[in-house]
Structure 1
């Protein structure tokens, strides 16, 4: 009998003990073109200035988000010809001068979050609030209809306000 108890107790102890691992992590998720996707499917793109890193980021956005990224980029350029572009902190940024940005966007698990860094000064304001009083967000889900006229208006308003130094 005592042998059975030892066996049961040993089994319970073994299942409660932390499992040894080989030190390997789960391989990162990658986009179709091999770019590592971070939490929420956000592409990991090296910091860079100009259109090329933006286009690399957009191409690596997963699924429907890539088409949305192309659309957002097209609308931003339409609203502000000659806009400055960069990828920093794995997100595209747009501004009127280098390192002074008026908006950025980021892939989340189920939506794309557009951040207007002075959005609280817009009329009307974008719907999403932030812990930062001046920042407003526009969260775009797959099934959402983007109001292009309103988005263009917000981009134009954003470009006319002082940007954020980042």
Structure 2
């Protein structure tokens, strides 16, 4: 059996992963990350999975997506050179709203190396994940 070719890394180290549903493509995305970005990806995936039992996972547009069946996507992860971006699609409705970036209703948090070691950030992210999962999301999960 031929050896699987590792995913191609795009700009900023973001892995090119084919569109697919389920945990397996998300884990393939995380496994393709390098160093501290892989640690952040693993920790975010674990935080989301723990905070939202029954979360639906997929990879779309080379990004892990998290949603609730029948409610749509509530968050995505995307890797850049100096940070990992966690986007909440209805982030303007979260309390308090993430102050990272803004685009229409979306808000995001740029997580840099070592930042998740701060317990207060991890606790805030868990609160936002739970809030976001409880409201109608974007698209179809």
The answer to whether 1:109 aligns with 2:78 is: no
Structure 1, residues 38-63: CA drift from partner, whole Å, max 9, x if none?
Answer: 01110000111000000000001122
Secondary structure in 2 matching 1:137: strand
Return 5+ residue gaps in structure 1 as ranges: 1-32
Contact 1:84 1:98 in 2 (8 A): no
1:161 is aligned to 135
The Cα of 1:34 is off from its aligned counterpart by 2.3
Q: For 1:1-166, what aligned pairs fall within 5 Å after superposition? A: 34-97=6-69, 100-130=72-102, 132-145=103-116, 146=118, 147-165=121-139
Secondary structure in 2 matching 1:40: helix
Secondary structure in 1 matching 2:64: strand
Q: Which runs of 4+ in 1 moved over 6 A?
A: none
Distance change >3 Å, CA 38–CA 118, structure 1 → 2: same
Q: For the aligned residues, what is the CA RMSD?
A: 1.5
The Cα of 1:143 is off from its aligned counterpart by 3.2
Which one has the largest radius of gyration?
1
What is the number of residues matched between the two proteins? Answer: 133
Normalized against structure 1, the TM-score is what? 0.76
Equivalent-residue separation in structure 1 for 2:123 and 2:71 (angstroms): 27
Equivalent-residue separation in structure 2 for 1:106 and 1:98 (angstroms): 23
The Cα of 1:98 is off from its aligned counterpart by 6.4
Equivalent-residue separation in structure 2 for 1:97 and 1:123 (angstroms): 23
Normalized against structure 2, the TM-score is what? 0.89
